[in-house]
Amino acid sequence: MFKQQLNLLWILASKDIQLFLVDKKAAALCFLVPIILASGFGYAFSKPLQNEDLKLPLLIIREDNSPLAIKLTDALLKSPKLNAALASRENALAKIETRTAKIALVIPKDFASQIALKKKVPAIEILHHPTASLESKWAEGVFTEIAFHEAAPELLGFWLPGAASLKLERPFEVKKEPYPEGMDISRQAYSHSFSGMTMQYLLFWGMDCGLLLLRERRQGIWKRLKAAPIPLPTLLGGKIIATALIALTQIFFTFSFGSLVFGVAINGSVSGFFLMAIATAVLSAATGLLVAAIGGTENRARSMAILLILSLSILGGLWLPSFMLPLWVQNFSLLLPTTWMIKGFEGVIWQGMGLLDATYCALVTLLFSAIFIGFSILKFQSTNQNTSTDGVGSCN
């Protein structure tokens, strides 16, 4: 009996896989779209990070004509960390308002004389667009470093005895070494993009399969299937197996492309990668089943699922690394399956995660899948008992 149920499951799953392969162009797109998305995101995020000559565009407004102000201005213009240019206050404000520039630094009038007279500490103004608060902190740090490096005697000579010959230099060097070895920041960007975009696309793949299930129900296909002595869990199990197998194939195809073209490699547990691939494929299928169970009509299910999947992708760190999100989002995201998906995949790909930690992430992901599947089966059974419209439920 058990063997018969397994054979029946495989027959139902094979039927769905064959239907998937009938439209060869659509099948090809299912494999190409995540590659295109991942490559685009990886390129966008890796380019600025790769560029060691990345400079902050900065407008300099010098309202003080003292030798100290001129010396600081010249140092700012020559700084390898800045792409600086002189501007008037009016011109700078106009550029910031129209977003042709984001930030301007003002050396105010009487800057040097206020230091010499010791009346008050002069204020350096940093004018910036509301979207450039991070750049303003960058400009503040660069100016502070340049000011003390280039003009320490002038800045401190009035305050400290013997400071006229003072020259401030950093008494150490900084060496940046990525770990694991050979995992440069470009590959990190591609590793994240291939993990995140693949996971997001698989959720949409599950959604499409759920919508197909609703379409089959509306067309009466499920009614004919239910006429046969097939238990509901077996019928749904065939859908889960077919969706998960195609999703698993998409994962290996996408990451194989990333490995060959962009150097995306497994730096952690290889077994952990396979566990995460299986868990993610199952979650994709479970998501589709959940969409079909609670969606009602195709249009309603599609709108609801798109909103839910995009929200899970953003909050779960599929678009941006989780450390770039607010702290409350990072804490809340632990309740989301996408967080554990990306944590496991990124862990085994470029963070050196071992099998034990990867297994934990995979088990949490599978727990979400079990909840989705269990709820969906109960929902289908409840609907089946309350309606005689078809074998699974009404789509009105």
In sequence order, the 6+-apart residues with CB closer than 8 A to the CB of 49 are 185, 186, 189
Residue 216: what pLDDT? 79
Do 61 and 27 belong to one domain?
no
What is the CA angle 183-188-192, rounded to 5? 145
Do 244 and 153 belong to one domain?
no
| 156: enclosing H helix or E strand | helix 133-156
Residue 263: what pLDDT? 84
* 8-state DSSP, 109: T
Do 330 and 215 belong to one domain?
yes
Buried b (16+ CB within 10 A) or exposed e, 4-37: eeeebbeebbeebbeebeeeeeeeeebeebbbeb
Do 206 and 116 belong to one domain?
no
Residue 57, beta-bridge partner list: 83
Per the structure, the complete domain to which residue 63 belongs is given by 55-165
Residue 144: what pLDDT? 86
CATH number of the domain residue 159 falls in: 3.40.1710.10
Q: Which of 165, 195, 227 is the last residue of a domain?
A: 165
Q: Which of 108, 138, 165 is the last residue of a domain?
A: 165
Residue 392: what pLDDT? 41
Question: Could you give the CA distance from residue 308 to residue 312 in angstroms, rounded to a whole number?
Answer: 6
Q: Per the domain annotation, does 279 fall within a domain?
A: yes
| 126: enclosing H helix or E strand | strand 125-128
Do 296 and 345 belong to one domain?
yes
* 8-state DSSP, 262: H
Chain-centroid distance, C-alpha 186: 15
Do 116 and 143 belong to one domain?
yes
Do 97 and 117 belong to one domain?
yes
- pLDDT per 10-residue tile (average), the chain, 396 residues: 76 85 88 90 68 77 89 90 91 88 89 70 84 84 82 57 53 56 62 90 93 81 65 84 94 93 89 95 94 84 90 89 80 92 90 91 96 91 61 39
How large is the angle between the packed helices 232-262 and 24-50, nearest 10 degrees?
Answer: 40
Do 204 and 188 belong to one domain?
yes
Report whether 379 contacts 297 (CB < 8 A): no
Q: Per the domain annotation, does 329 fall within a domain?
A: yes
Counting the structural domains of the chain, the total is 2
Do 39 and 78 belong to one domain?
no
Do 264 and 368 belong to one domain?
yes
In sequence order, the 6+-apart residues with CB closer than 8 A to the CB of 305 are 207, 210, 211, 287, 291, 295
